Amino acid sequence: LENRAPGAWYLNMLAVFPEQRRKGAAARLVAAAVGRGRAAGAADLALIVADGNAEARAFYAAQGFRERARAPLVPEDWETGDREWILLALPLAFSGEEA
């Protein structure tokens, strides 16, 4: 799926300890990634999330990320109820407002 976001600044992983959630840490991390992506001249900030991770998907949607593509999730040596990977992207073109 990464190849479906050419020119994107790719966010490989974002995690926040449970006791730090809902305190703005993830939003600050995304904002830092947006800043780095813009400084690098990237067109988008992109990431991949599992379809079953509803909390993360809602968070990313609130940050402005939109679905760009899906692919089957094929677990190898781990168990999951998830069925698809979802590529999300956030345009980085400066519009006069911060993302």
Q: Looking at residue 99, what is its pLDDT?
A: 42
Taking only the tens of pLDDT, the chain with its 99 residues reads: 999 999 999 999 999 999 988 999 999 999 999 999 999 999 999 999 999 999 999 999 999 999 999 999 988 888 899 999 999 999 998 655 444
Alpha carbon distance 1, 71 (integer Å): 7
